Homo-oligomer: A and B are copies of this chain.
């Protein structure tokens, strides 16, 4: 169908946009959103400012594209984990490890997660990644709570919001204090704590084996 086939110009456009998103993420990650200038982003992207301006009218538009791309990279990783593992707790533990690995290796993921928190800098509803993430986590927890695999006095929704808050804070404070290399160690500790809090005692040893396996090689 010629009508839906991409033209060379469209393909070039996508290549440019991808380069800008990756260059911008690298700059945001290194010096923060506010300190980044359009000329720095253009330079990091290897794209001329004129060409960049053709696709993005402002730094904020670029930041939203970075958040969008982080979303596009992180959600499939979590979906793949969901397919691969059966138990809800194992899925959550494995998904957190997968995101930690993305945080370590991918500036787009680091910048996107950070930007989505920075509600003061961005006027658009950047919190939607968090809400999607919380909803996905809540649905896993719901199943596990119903099955008695997990126990809590909180609802699945409140528990999910709490855990996503924990994950976010643990990785941000680890990066800010002891360095990026400590993020996995810190998230592993979050799970030690979480298993003590919500896994019934008779399943705790099994849960810790899953955790140790998911966070092996630290």
B-contacting residues of A (Cβ < 8 Å)? Answer: 28-36, 116-121, 126-127, 130-131, 134, 152-154, 158-159, 161-162, 164-177, 186, 189-190, 192-194, 196-198
A176–B116 CB distance below 8 A: yes
Among B32, B36, B126, B170, which residue has its beta carbon within 8 angstroms of that of A118? B32
19 example contacts (A-B, Cβ-Cβ < 8 A) are as follows: A28-B120, A29-B120, A31-B120, A32-B33, A34-B34, A116-B176, A119-B176, A127-B176, A131-B177, A152-B193, A162-B170, A162-B189, A162-B190, A164-B173, A165-B173, A166-B166, A166-B190, A168-B169, A169-B169
A170–B165 CB distance below 8 A: yes
B29–A177 CB distance below 8 A: no
Specify the chain B residue showing the minimal Cβ separation from A121.
B32
Task: Tell me the dominant secondary structure on chain A's binding face.
Answer: helix
Residues in B neighbouring A127, C-beta threshold 8 A: 176-177
Residues in B neighbouring A33, C-beta threshold 8 A: 32, 34
Known A-B contacts: A29-B120, A196-B196. Give 4 more (CB < 8 A): A126-B176, A154-B189, A154-B193, A158-B189
Specify the chain B residue showing the minimal Cβ separation from A153.
B192
C-alpha gap A171/B166 in the complex (Å) = 10
Number of copies: 2
- In whole Å, how far is A187's beta carbon from the nearest beta carbon of chain B? 9
- In whole Å, how far is A107's beta carbon from the nearest beta carbon of chain B? 11
- In whole Å, how far is A95's beta carbon from the nearest beta carbon of chain B? 16
Specify the chain B residue showing the minimal Cβ separation from A152.
B196
Residues in B neighbouring A162, C-beta threshold 8 A: 170, 186, 189-190, 193
B172–A117 CB distance below 8 A: yes
Residues in B neighbouring A130, C-beta threshold 8 A: 173, 176-177
Residues in B neighbouring A197, C-beta threshold 8 A: 193-194, 196-197
